[in-house]
């Protein structure tokens, strides 16, 4: 039976009231405490005039108040609208204008980016700050001091959370709309196919104002698995907590695992409790998977998710960007004419399942382009392997088309890393070309001690592994690859750098 997040919390508080929901800085939150706190805050929101369907902006790093605020919104029927903590005032202004939240809940340091904005909402009187030093009328405790009242059961098919995606090609970020029903379906799939159980202890450093952290936290409550909530990602803190709490699972992005490997090699911890690790957000190079498995002592698996549809693909069991389609999901791989491709051929992934988002908030055009006849068009290109196996090739918008031929940047990136021991990391993008359509441009980071002179050798080695049209015509050495707020390689920034052609080497 599917239970939405509100029902999960009630169930856990009734059946396992003294079980640990999560730990934050050694403060243990048991289900009885969490459920009581959520009820108080939901009533507090109602007392401040927040109604079903109103948006509540959540602007915090990971903390107990953020966990409670999400559940309180779900309990009341208000719409949780998390804001990314890395955003500047210039980025937050347009988002808040579109959201028009009835209430803002945040941290004082982050509120500085909102207070000066010339926007209609939220008015300053409608702000709650969770810091201890906040003015009396804006303190978090104001929400907790309201007398409990009987709140109506919120609708399960109305918007419950708006998750902000990164900017699209139009430059306008989207709000992915999930309901309590889609959240319930997603958490069910994660619990059933994510390898988790109530016996696990998860170290959660994924940011909860992002889809990755939110969905994982909700799924862990559904499974009854306690988690250690960290304010954010810090490699040493993650590993220290694995050792201290005997953590069994880690979740993260490729760049974070690279940092974990470095931290563990620098100062070894006892990680024998780890059962497995998963990585998503970007394809993880096979070499990184192997290094993580060796260094952390637990296998690292690739996982695919989109904010619009979480849980349809389980992690694959072999190294590489492969996943397994879960039984509950319907998938198709189609060409540009939306015709199903033949087995083994590349095509865009389409998904139909009960966990798929319902629409983009206030954006009917984008919704119509992405949700067609019940199918979510992911924009990701995959190839079907044996049985229910899928291999991720590229984001559709990242595919490089040179002289009418499609080139997967991931294939070239993996070949770059494999062709020479000096290559530490690689990223490949397309550069507009009036004759060819696009040219292939590569970026690499090198191991310590390797000089730029090795670039020509790397390119010539690569030419032995790839067809000539796939070999980067320009290869640039960087100290580090640029990352976005989700720790993914920032391909848009690399595309801009590719157009500049600075400090590049090429092959004839």
Rounded to an integer, what distance in angstroms lies between the CA atom of residue 59 and that of residue 42? 17
155 within domain boundaries: yes
The reply to whether 136 and 237 lie within a common domain is no
CA 156 to chain centre: 24
The reply to whether 357 and 461 lie within a common domain is no
375 within domain boundaries: yes
Range of the domain at 93: 5-184
- On the question of pLDDT at 507 being above 60, the answer is no
Decide which of 366, 395, 424 is a domain's last residue: 395
The reply to whether 416 and 297 lie within a common domain is no
- Residue 127 has a pLDDT of 92
What percentage of the chain carries pLDDT values higher than 90? 63
- Report the Cα–Cα distance between both ends of the chain, in Å, rounded: 61
Mean pLDDT of all residues belonging to the chain: 89
Our count of domains for the chain comes to: 3
- pLDDT, average across residues 488-497: 88
- pLDDT, average across residues 315-337: 86
Beta carbons of 461 and 427 less than 8 angstroms apart: no
- Residue 122 has a pLDDT of 59
- Could you report the per-residue pLDDT of 334-388, keeping only the tens digit for each? 998 999 999 889 899 999 999 999 999 999 999 999 999 999 999 888 999 887 8
CATH code for the domain of 22: 3.40.50.980
The reply to whether 379 and 428 lie within a common domain is no
Beta carbons of 415 and 462 less than 8 angstroms apart: yes
In 3-state terms, what secondary structure has residue 237? helix
Nearest CA-CA partner of 409 in 378, 380, 385: 380
224 within domain boundaries: no
189 within domain boundaries: no
Phi, psi angles (nearest 5°) of residue 19: -75, 150
How far from 436 is each of 178, 262, 433, 439, 491, CA to CA, in Å? 41, 41, 5, 7, 20
CATH code for the domain of 453: 3.30.300.30
- Could you report the per-residue pLDDT of 436-467, keeping only the tens digit for each? 778 999 999 999 888 878 999 999 999 888 87
pLDDT band at 125 (very low <50, low <70, confident <90, very high): low
The reply to whether 272 and 411 lie within a common domain is no
- Residue 286 has a pLDDT of 83
- Could you report the per-residue pLDDT of 25-45, keeping only the tens digit for each? 999 999 999 999 999 999 999
Q: What share of the chain is helix, strand, coil (3-state, %, to 5)?
A: 35, 25, 40
- pLDDT, average across residues 299-324: 86
203 within domain boundaries: no
Three-state helix/strand/coil letters over 366-421: HHHHHEECCEEEEEEEEEECCCCEEEEEEEHHHCEEECCEEECHHHHHHHHHHHCC
Beta carbons of 174 and 154 less than 8 angstroms apart: no
- Residue 103 has a pLDDT of 95
- Residue 504 has a pLDDT of 46
Are β-strands 202-204 and 20-24 bridged in parallel, bridged antiparallel, or unpaired?
Answer: unpaired
Tokens (6 digits) for 327: 């039984």
The reply to whether 360 and 403 lie within a common domain is no
The reply to whether 32 and 164 lie within a common domain is yes
Name which residue leads in pLDDT, 443 or 391.
443
The reply to whether 75 and 175 lie within a common domain is yes
Beta carbons of 107 and 59 less than 8 angstroms apart: yes
pLDDT band at 287 (very low <50, low <70, confident <90, very high): confident
- Could you report the per-residue pLDDT of 84-103, keeping only the tens digit for each? 888 888 888 889 999 999 99
The reply to whether 423 and 333 lie within a common domain is no
How far from 129 is each of 105, 126, 216, 447, CA to CA, in Å? 6, 10, 25, 44
pLDDT band at 123 (very low <50, low <70, confident <90, very high): low
* Element at 233 (helix H, strand E): none
- Residue 318 has a pLDDT of 67
Nearest CA-CA partner of 304 in 231, 389, 221, 238: 389
Beta carbons of 4 and 184 less than 8 angstroms apart: yes
Three-state helix/strand/coil letters over 285-328: CHHHHHHHHHHHCCCEEECCCECCECCCEEECCCCCCEEEECCC
**Strand order from edge to edge, sheet including 103-106:** 127-129, 103-106, 55-59, 79-82, 159-164, 175-179, 359-360
- pLDDT, average across residues 146-159: 91
Nearest CA-CA partner of 308 in 353, 352, 373, 357: 357
- Residue 450 has a pLDDT of 87
- Residue 1 has a pLDDT of 67
Rounded to an integer, what distance in angstroms lies between the CA atom of residue 82 and that of residue 87? 12
The reply to whether 18 and 165 lie within a common domain is yes
CATH code for the domain of 332: 3.40.50.12780
Neighbours of 14 (CB within 10 A): 11
- On the question of pLDDT at 169 being above 50, the answer is no
Q: Is the entire prediction scored with pTM above 0.75?
A: yes
Nearest CA-CA partner of 431 in 413, 443, 446, 445: 443
Rounded to an integer, what distance in angstroms lies between the CA atom of residue 295 and that of residue 118? 50
Decide which of 184, 219, 248 is a domain's last residue: 184
- Residue 281 has a pLDDT of 66
- On the question of pLDDT at 425 being above 50, the answer is yes
The reply to whether 351 and 474 lie within a common domain is no
In 3-state terms, what secondary structure has residue 491? helix
* pLDDT winner (highest mean) among 178-187, 301-310, 377-386: 178-187
196 within domain boundaries: no
102 within domain boundaries: yes
Give the burial class of 9: count Cβ atoms within 10 A of its Cβ; 0-12 exposed, 13-18 middle, 19 or more buried: buried
Neighbours of 225 (CB within 10 A): 23
* Contact partners, residue 127, CB within 8 Å, separation at least 6: 103, 104, 105, 106, 111, 138
493 within domain boundaries: yes
* Helical packing angle, 455-462 and 409-419, nearest 10°: 120
Nearest CA-CA partner of 378 in 176, 118, 80: 176
In 3-state terms, what secondary structure has residue 201? coil
- Residue 105 has a pLDDT of 96
The reply to whether 29 and 137 lie within a common domain is yes
């Amino acid at each position: 039976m599917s239970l939405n997040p509100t029902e999960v919390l009630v169930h856990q508080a009734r059946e396992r009231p003294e079980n640990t929901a999560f730990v934050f800085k050694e403060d243990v939150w048991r289900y009885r405490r969490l459920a009581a706190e959520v009820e108080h805050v939901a009533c507090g929101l109602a007392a401040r005039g927040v109604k079903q369907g109103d948006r509540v902006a959540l602007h915090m790093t990971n903390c107990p108040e953020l966990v409670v605020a999400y559940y309180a919104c779900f309990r009341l029927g208000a719409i949780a609208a998390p804001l990314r903590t890395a955003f500047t005032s210039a980025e937050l202004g347009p988002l808040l204008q579109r959201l028009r939240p009835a209430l803002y809940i945040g941290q004082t340091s982050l509120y500085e980016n909102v207070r000066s904005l010339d926007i209609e909402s939220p008015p300053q009187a409608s702000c709650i700050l969770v810091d201890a030093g906040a003015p009396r009328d804006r303190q978090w405790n104001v929400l907790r001091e309201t007398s409990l009242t009987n709140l109506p059961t919120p609708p399960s098919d109305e918007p419950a959370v708006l998750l902000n995606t990164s900017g699209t090609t139009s430059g306008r970020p989207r709000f992915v709309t999930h309901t309590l029903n889609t959240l319930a379906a997603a958490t069910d799939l994660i619990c059933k196919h994510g390898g988790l159980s109530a016996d696990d202890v998860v170290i959660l450093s994924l940011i909860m104002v992002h889809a990755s952290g939110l969905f994982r936290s909700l799924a862990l409550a559904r499974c009854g698995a306690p988690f250690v909530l960290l304010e954010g990602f810090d490699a040493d803190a993650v590993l220290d907590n694995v050792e201290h709490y005997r953590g069994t699972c880690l979740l993260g992005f490729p760049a974070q695992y690279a940092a974990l490997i470095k931290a563990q090699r620098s100062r070894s911890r006892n990680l024998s409790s780890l059962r497995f690790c998963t990585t998503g957000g970007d394809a993880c190079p096979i070499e990184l998977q192997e290094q993580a498995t060796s260094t952390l002592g637990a296998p690292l698996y690739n996982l695919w998710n989109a904010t619009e549809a979480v849980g349809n693909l389980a992690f694959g069991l072999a190294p590489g960007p492969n996943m397994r389609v879960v039984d509950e999901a319907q998938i198709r791989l189609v060409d540009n004419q939306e015709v199903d491709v033949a087995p083994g051929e590349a095509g865009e992934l389409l998904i139909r399942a009960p966990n798929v988002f319902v629409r983009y908030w206030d954006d009917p055009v984008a919704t119509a382009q992405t949700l067609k006849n019940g199918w979510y068009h992911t924009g990701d290109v995959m190839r079907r392997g044996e049985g229910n196996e899928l291999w991720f090739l590229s984001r559709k918008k990242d595919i490089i088309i040179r002289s009418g031929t499609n080139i997967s940047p991931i294939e070239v990136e993996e070949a770059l890393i494999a062709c020479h021991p000096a290559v530490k990391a690689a990223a490949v993008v397309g550069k507009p070309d009036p004759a060819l359509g696009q040219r292939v441009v590569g970026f690499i980071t090198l191991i310590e001690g390797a000089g730029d002179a090795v670039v020509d050798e790397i390119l010539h080695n690569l030419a032995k592994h790839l067809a000539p049209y796939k070999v980067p015509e320009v290869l640039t050495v960087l100290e580090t690859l640029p990352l976005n707020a989700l720790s993914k390689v920032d391909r848009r920034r690399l595309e801009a750098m590719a157009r500049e052609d600075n400090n590049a080497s090429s092959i004839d």
